[in-house]
Amino acid sequence: MNKVIRIAVFAAGASLTAPVVIPMAFAQSSMMAPNTVSVGGMAMYPNKTIVANAVNSQDHTTLVAAVKAAGLVGALSGPGPFTVFAPTNEAFGLLPAGTVDTLVKPENKATLTKILTYHVVSGDYPTTKIRQMILAGNGKAELKTLEGGTLTFMMNGSSNIIVTDEKGGMADITIADVMQSNGVIQVIDKVLMPG
């Protein structure tokens, strides 16, 4: 199915409006809704939930599989708001070989749940708010996770925010402020580990 739009053409003081046919696939990909961000090659729509958007990101297939294995789909589809620090597939790939395969086994559900909920904070925390907290905290801010642990935030330069876990591991926010109907996703380049 194609989409017909009208384009106005102005030439030598005269104007003409003519219909132009645009293939629907192009219309959908190039006319994304305002505030839509592309993550993993797919549009993340602010009117969809965290889970509904994440399942479409090719960069977050490991995270989505882990969320399903931990039984957290329902919780992260709830009203929130939540801020999810979402590691990419590449971030999971930096873990020791076999770690992810071991974590998604049913007998390791409690450990997997602990790690995943350590990446989630209750409330909306866009980077502007995190930056303000860092400035107010003399260069450092802390947020309590759903797991019960703490994430620490610092600036690295004028715009880059670093997230530090309780074991001293650090991650950069690589794609910021992916707004969702029930919160915000901050894409990070490392998996964070609770203490």
The answer to which of 51-65, 122-136, 153-167 has the lowest mean pLDDT is 51-65
Q: What is the pLDDT of residue 119?
A: 95
Q: What is the mean pLDDT of residues 163-184?
A: 93
User: What pTM was estimated for this model as a whole?
Assistant: 0.78
| Average pLDDT, integer, range 21-39 | 46
Q: What's the token pair of residue 91?
A: 């971030």
Is the confidence at residue 180, as pLDDT, over 90?
no
35-188 CATH choice from 3.20.20.70, 1.20.1630.10, 2.70.150.10, 2.30.180.10: 2.30.180.10
- 64-80: average pLDDT: 87
Q: What is the mean pLDDT of residues 30-55?
A: 64
